[in-house]
Amino acid sequence: MTLVLGIETSCDETAAAVVEDGRIVRSSLIASQHDLHEEFGGVVPEIASRAHAERITPILRGALKEAGVERADLDAIAVGNRPGLIGSLLVGLSAAKALAWALGRPLIGVDHVQAHLYAPLLEDAQGFAGLTDAEAFPALGLVVSGGHSSIYALRSPMDVERLGRTIDDAMGEAFDKAAAILGLGFPGGPALDRLAQTGDAGAHDFPVSRIGPGSLDFSFSGLKTAVLYAARGKPRREGGSTVFERDASELSEKERADLAASFQRAAVDAAVLKLGRAMERVEGARSLLVGGGVSANSALRAALEGFAKEKGVRLGLAPMRYCLDNAAMIAGLGSRLLAEGRVDDLSLRAAPTGG
């Protein structure tokens, strides 16, 4: 049996997990910082790093305790070391290095975005059993989160090629911005999802960005502007500042729900359109692996189910606890890297870019 401890601190979740044999989640603890960043309408890097530093030790202890594992039982320490906020990444990486050094175990740097694609292959005691390698690969991959909107071709969990990405906002960022326009707080994706359920998705004909005819890239900035203008009217310059015809608070509940539903439809249509194009490029694809916070979206989940059915591929959609940022996905992919001997030493660095 191989036991790997995973550590995740790339953004605003401090997480640790123990995974057995690359698949079975023995524990997965997540301390979210959403409450600390809410009043600023976005993640404040300095606050995030400080909160990680305060929380990492109790979270690590808790993950080991819940898994019923002693530190000495661990075979390796896996850590998300890219991409992310540099100050946040460094907290997790330092903890991982300290443990790896103290225990004399291998250290494994894991790409956070590739780890999101591994989440659908996990299994846990709460009844989730993801796809096996034989069911999953070759695979088409989609990661849609607050920081990423990318499409991948995967020949194995470690052999990942990016086919397309956003040229401006990430899909989750677009949800958060649209939610902010509608006055729904931060992060607004989940609130927009709920509001959209009572709206008419056909009320506004918002643009679905295609970019070029064969492009697999995303663009969400045009959609965001379209929502802004539909919600607040055309802007004009007045005394050096931009003034809108109305405030979003003047909209009725029905109007706001229609805007939310129409925005969501355009965003989901864009994802399905690009996945359709990408499918042609992944020969013999057996599955569609999906990760990242936006995969919680009810309309996207329904659309992906339809897409997978139509294309005759299995849909690898993890439960929410593994779609959002977590350390089980880091430990899982870390175990697979360990099995291939792809380990790092204590000179491993944190990198803000990757994926």
Q: Residue 146 binds which entry of ligand KG4, Zn ion, none, with Cβ cut-offs from 5 to 8 Å by kind?
A: ligand KG4
**Under rule CB under 6 A, residue 106 binds ligand KG4:** no
Interface residues with Zn ion (CB under 5 A) are 145, 325
Interacting positions 310-339 with ligand KG4 (CB under 6 A): 324-325
What tokens appear for 28 in the block? 């997965």
Q: Residue 324 binds which entry of Zn ion, ligand KG4, none, with Cβ cut-offs from 5 to 8 Å by kind?
A: ligand KG4
Which of residues 106 and 332 has its CB atom nearest to ligand KG4 in the complex? 332
Q: How many residues does the chain have?
A: 355
Q: How far is the CB of 297 from ligand KG4 (least distance, A)?
A: 3
Q: Residue 87 binds which entry of Zn ion, ligand KG4, none, with Cβ cut-offs from 5 to 8 Å by kind?
A: none
Name 166's bridge partners. Answer: 218
Which of residues 42 and 222 has its CB atom nearest to ligand KG4 in the complex? 42
Which of residues 178 and 329 has its CB atom nearest to Zn ion in the complex? 329
Alpha carbons 119 and 76: distance in angstroms, whole number: 19
Residue closest to ligand KG4, measured at CB: 293
Among all chains, which residue has been given the structure tokens 């019923």? 68
Question: Of 120, 187, 332, 355, which one interacts with ligand KG4 (CB under 6 A)?
Answer: 187
Question: Of 74, 296, 317, 318, which one interacts with ligand KG4 (CB under 6 A)?
Answer: 296
Distances (CA, A) of 271 to 87, 130, 142, 170, 339: 31, 22, 9, 11, 33
**Structural contact between residues 162 and 150, judged by C-beta atoms closer than 8 angstroms:** yes
**Under rule CB under 6 A, residue 288 binds ligand KG4:** no
Interacting positions 150-179 with ligand KG4 (CB under 6 A): 172, 175-176
The DSSP 8-state label assigned to residue 197 in this structure reads T
Q: How far is the CB of 13 from ligand KG4 (least distance, A)?
A: 7
Considering only CA atoms, which of 151, 69, 83 is closest in space to residue 113? 83
Residue 61 CA from chain centroid, whole number: 25
Q: Residue 344 binds which entry of Zn ion, ligand KG4, none, with Cβ cut-offs from 5 to 8 Å by kind?
A: none
Q: Which stretch binds ligand KG4 (CB under 6 A): 188-196, 215-223, 269-277, 305-313?
A: 188-196
4 residue type, one letter = V
Which of residues 226 and 317 has its CB atom nearest to Zn ion in the complex? 317
Which of residues 76 and 119 has its CB atom nearest to ligand KG4 in the complex? 119
Distances (CA, A) of 207 to 167, 210, 224, 267, 303: 16, 9, 10, 9, 18
Q: Which stretch binds ligand KG4 (CB under 6 A): 61-69, 144-152, 227-235, 337-345?
A: 144-152
Alpha carbons 180 and 194: distance in angstroms, whole number: 14
Q: How far is the CB of 73 from Zn ion (least distance, A)?
A: 28
260 residue type, one letter = A
Count of residues engaged in binding ligand KG4, rule: CB under 6 A: 19
**Under rule CB under 6 A, residue 11 binds ligand KG4:** yes
Strands (E), the chain: 3-8, 13-20, 24-32, 76-82, 107-111, 123-124, 139-144, 149-154, 160-165, 236-238, 241-243, 287-291, 314-317
Among all chains, which residue has been given the structure tokens 């903890």? 95
- Give the binding site for ligand KG4 (CB under 6 A): 11, 145-147, 172, 175-176, 187-190, 193, 292-294, 296-297, 324-325
